[in-house]
Amino acid sequence: MPVAEAAKLLYEEACDLAWIQHKPKKALAKFAEALQLDREYAEAMLGMAMVFLFCLPDRVQDAKVTLEEYLSARPDDAYGHYLLGVLHRRNEEFRQAELAFRRSLQLDPSEMKSAVSLGLLCMDENRIDEAVSLLRQAADYLAATHGHFQASVRLWLADALVKAGDIEGALKEWQTVSSMPEIWPEEEGSQVKAKRMLKKYSSTSKQ
């Protein structure tokens, strides 16, 4: 079997172990095997970084080292820069996180995870107008593409609109969420919150 094909098979096995079977340490071993066969197989490096970042919170430094190695091989990968932003934000390195998210969006304006993450960062820092703009951009894109987590993004957008004093705008977002078909599992909980917020703020908007 060619080396590249063997490395790909190990990579696919590692992904199954990580994200389906929830066995991160065994997944890391398979990713490492793939890299031993083909040191330039960057996807295996990215897989390792994701396992460190999302499954093994005590391995943050390993996530950083692996991500930096991956980005040295794939400097124009928008998703890699998004993950670097997540890592920096987790470490409360907010300036570095913002730069990583912006770099991700510069490379791929459709990388909505970066738009949402940057929007939430702006909201935390009370840069509300920018937060609204980024979250609306993400919500509109996800609506057009039927993307995952559209309901959650609209709830965050509503939160930003409330902070901006735009209660009518927030009510529209909650109404949209409350009437969404339940395609994704997260939407049921989002609809409960949206209906609760509609009830809370509807009387306020009429005063």
pLDDT at 157 over 70: yes
Contact between residue 30 and residue 17 where contact means Cβ atoms under 8 Å apart: yes
pLDDT of residue 204: 62
Q: Token digits for 14?
A: 């590692």
**What's the confidence (pLDDT) of residue 140?**
94
Instruction: Determine the pLDDT at residue 205.
Output: 55
* Residue 131 CB-density burial (10 A; 0-12 exposed, 13-18 middle, 19+ buried): buried
Quote the pTM value. Answer: 0.91
Q: What ranges do the domains of the chain cover?
A: 1-56
Rounded to an integer, the average pLDDT of 134-143 is: 95
- The tokens of 64 are what? 């950083």
pLDDT in tens, 113-138: 999 999 999 999 999 999 999 999 99
Work out the mean pLDDT of the chain and round it to a whole number: 92
Asked if pLDDT for residue 206 goes beyond 90, the answer is no
Which carries the bigger pLDDT value, residue 175 or residue 3? 175
CA-to-CA separations, 148 to 55, 62, 113, 182, 187, in angstroms, rounded: 21, 29, 11, 11, 9
Structure tokens at 12: 């696919």
126-135, 153-162, 173-182: which has the minimum mean pLDDT? 173-182
pLDDT at 173: 96
The answer to whether 67 and 83 are in contact (CB under 8 A) is yes
Give tens-digit pLDDT for 82-101.
Answer: 999 999 999 999 999 999 99
pLDDT at 2: 84
pLDDT at 185: 57
**Is residue 162 predicted with pLDDT exceeding 70?**
yes
pLDDT confidence tier of residue 147, bands split at 50, 70 and 90: confident
How high is the pLDDT of residue 65? 96
